[in-house]
Structure 1
Amino acid sequence: MLLERALYWPLKNSLKRLRPPEKLNGFHSIVVASDRFSFPSGHSSAAFALAILLSLAVGGFMPVLLIWASCVALSRVVLGVHFPGDIIAGALLGTAVAFTNAAYWGLI
């Protein structure tokens, strides 16, 4: 998870994609985001990294955990703080980090 955080935060702050309320006139989010930029989604990245690592470490729970991670990701769009591409990029980043860690620790 440390690797996921170490990659996501610099990426988000270097790409500087504004959130939907700041890019779309008249759009209001349901919640206020904790930071200014949206790409990639840190919630999606962390959820997918955790879901996949837990699935590989414990075994057998991947479908349930992937549904949970997908719900976390989709909630960010529903709440109005991310664009769909933000959560897709976050999910891909989290997945890549999870499999990299799993390979390093001999889980796969």
Structure 2
Amino acid sequence: MSTGGPTGEPGMPAAPDGSVAPAEERLAERLAGLSATEHPVAVRLAPVLRRLGHYDRLVYRAVARTHTPALDEPLRRLSDLANFSKPWFAVAALLAVAGGPTGRRAALTGVAAIGAASLVVNQPMKQLGGRSRPDRVLHEVPRPRWVEMPTSTSFPSGHSASAAAFAVSVGDVVPALRVPLRIAAGTVAFSRVHTGVHYPGDVAVGVVTGALLGRLVSRVGARIGRAEVRV
């Protein structure tokens, strides 16, 4: 197996199509090298991970090669707008100003969820994942879709995690916002694949991580609120 992909990273195995192998395939290589006697479950998991890596790139290429000129510009703008969680902070500010006590609690919960997701995803998970960004030229992502390629590692998607964390946590506090916020978060998550800066697997793991952290933060916030009422 080759030791360098299109990014020229030393020690980074290449996939059959010439791109840097996804994180799941690199993990599969490590698991396959273990002793089947000592680690039978890990060895059986290796082919499953390779299959996931294959489908990850397959879906990425399918999105890249789907002709969607009417969506390219709006999704590119949305993906750019979502940098640093700007839409979610704007919603939080609006809730804090116009939403009364419930809106302020929702705003605080949402911002806390974004903080938790950013901390977990952008530090330990990205460091452990170590996955290179997709090669947009190799996979033929149309240039009108392109946003600036982030310098951070690709796995998982921080944009998707923050969007899901905010949508779930605020939706728990203000149920009327649950559907619109989740639609908005899902659109932001898809835009990261559409613009070519993430593989679908990066986005899927980001969404799941963010949603779990959003739910955790909302539950902690609710418990704190109930404790303050009792006092």
**Structure 1 residue 87: deviation in Å?**
0.5
Instruction: Give the number of the structure with larger relative contact order, counting CA–CA contacts within 8 Å between residues 6 or more apart.
Output: 1
3-state SS in 2 of match to 1:82 = coil
Matched with 2:126 is 12
Task: Give the 3 Å change call, closer, same or farther, for CA 25–80 of structure 1 in structure 2.
Answer: closer
Q: Which amino acid aligns with 2:129?
A: L
Say what the alpha-carbon RMSD is for the aligned residues. Answer: 1.8
Return the alpha-carbon distance in structure 1 between the equivalents of residues 212 and 151 of structure 2.
Answer: 24
Structure 2 residues not aligned, in runs of 5+: 1-113, 224-231
Query: How does the TM-score come out when normalised to structure 2?
Result: 0.43
Inter-partner Cα distance in structure 2 for 1:28 and 1:36: 22
Q: Which runs of 4+ in 1 moved over 4 A?
A: none
Identity %: 30
* Contact preservation (8 Å) 1:28, 1:80: no
Q: Is the 8 A contact 1:44 1:72 kept in 2?
A: yes
Pairing 1:55-66 to 2, within 5 Å after superposition: 55-66=171-182
Conserved? CA contact 2:155–2:202, under 8 Å: yes
Greater gyration radius: 2
CA deviations 1:58-103 (Å, max 9, x no partner) are 2212111111000000000000000111100000010010111011
- 2:139 match: 27
Q: How many residues are paired up?
A: 105
The residue matched to 1:70 in structure 2 has which SS? helix
Q: TM-score, normalised by structure 1?
A: 0.87
